[in-house]
Amino acid sequence: MKTLGKKIRLLRHQKGWSQEDVAKRLDISIPAFSKIETGITDINLSRLEQIATLFEMGVVQLLTFNETEQDQKFITELENVHKRLNDRENEVIELQKKVIELFEELRHRREIA
């Protein structure tokens, strides 16, 4: 069951939740939830269903949850964010060029006047 606890911990981290957050949602104590994550406590079916629902997945999905699937999702998200960041950087560069052109134009006009 330690692998299941690790999966639950990973899911919790992905949501940005603390053990306290999850414990409150499950209506259990923080130490009880900690024991679930560390694999000290075996999870009964009703608790497993409750945890799966909390993470918006089915019990089977939770049990077969694979870190490599999540890693691939994370990599894809990271690539998308990186692409958007590059697009924004290019926009900033173009705007900087326009500002420089306008400044040069103003300077040229002042020299003429």
Distance of CA 66 to the CA centre of its chain: 16
CATH class of 2-65: mainly alpha
Q: How much is the pLDDT for 1?
A: 46
- Tell me which residue has tokens 């993470």: 55
Residue 27 falls in which region: left (phi positive, over 0), alpha (psi -120 to 50) or beta: left
Is the pLDDT at 62 greater than 80? The verdict is: yes
- Which three-class secondary structure state does DSSP give residue 72? helix
Is the pLDDT at 32 greater than 80? The verdict is: yes
In terms of average pLDDT, the best of 2-6, 7-11, 29-33 is 29-33
> Could you tell me the residue ranges of all domains in the chain?
2-65, 66-113
